[in-house]
């Protein structure tokens, strides 16, 4: 089994909007997407598309988790 992005590092770390959208669509067909996103969040990946989420979106997820954690403590 191979990830959809194997050998496409340039695509997954592109910064222009159109190419990031292409990367997201690739992730949407990837069987590893959930695991990939979780690993990116755990390792605080700051660049690239992981599990279909770009760095900005991952930051939003982390902020939401932190806010909700703060609410419950
Ligand atoms: S979900 Fe992860 S492993 Fe799958 S194509 Fe996207 S970046 Fe690659």
Residue range 11-46, pLDDT digits in tens: 999 999 999 999 999 999 999 999 999 999 999 999
Choose one of 6, 12, 30 to mutate for the ligand 1 pocket test, by most ligand atoms within 8 angstroms of C-beta.
Answer: 30
User: Rg of the chain's alpha carbons, rounded to an integer?
Assistant: 13
Q: How confident is the model at residue 72 (pLDDT cuts 50, 70, 90)?
A: confident
Helix runs in the chain, H state only: 9-12, 17-28, 33-42, 55-72
Tell if the pTM clears 0.75, that is, is over it.
yes
13 lines ligand 1 (CB under 6 A): no
Is the per-residue pLDDT at 73 higher than 80? no
In a domain, 48, yes or no: yes
User: How many residues make up the chain in this entry?
Assistant: 73
CA of 68 to the centre of ligand 1 (A): 27
32 lines ligand 1 (CB under 6 A): yes
In a domain, 2, yes or no: no
* Residue bearing the CA closest to ligand 1, atom 7: 50
Q: How confident is the model at residue 50 (pLDDT cuts 50, 70, 90)?
A: very high
- Residue 53's φ and ψ, nearest 5 degrees, are -120, 130
In a domain, 45, yes or no: yes
Question: What is the extent of the structural domain holding 20?
Answer: 9-72
Share of the chain above pLDDT 70, in %: 100
Q: How many domains does the chain have?
A: 1
In a domain, 3, yes or no: no
């Amino acid at each position: 089994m191979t990830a959809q992005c194997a050998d496409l590092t340039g695509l997954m770390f592109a910064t222009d909007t159109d190419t990031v959208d292409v990367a997201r669509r690739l992730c949407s067909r990837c069987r590893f997407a959930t695991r990939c996103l979780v690993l990116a969040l755990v390792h605080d990946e700051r660049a690239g598309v992981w599990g279909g989420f770009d760095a900005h979106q991952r930051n939003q997820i982390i902020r939401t988790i932190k806010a909700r954690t703060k609410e419950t403590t």
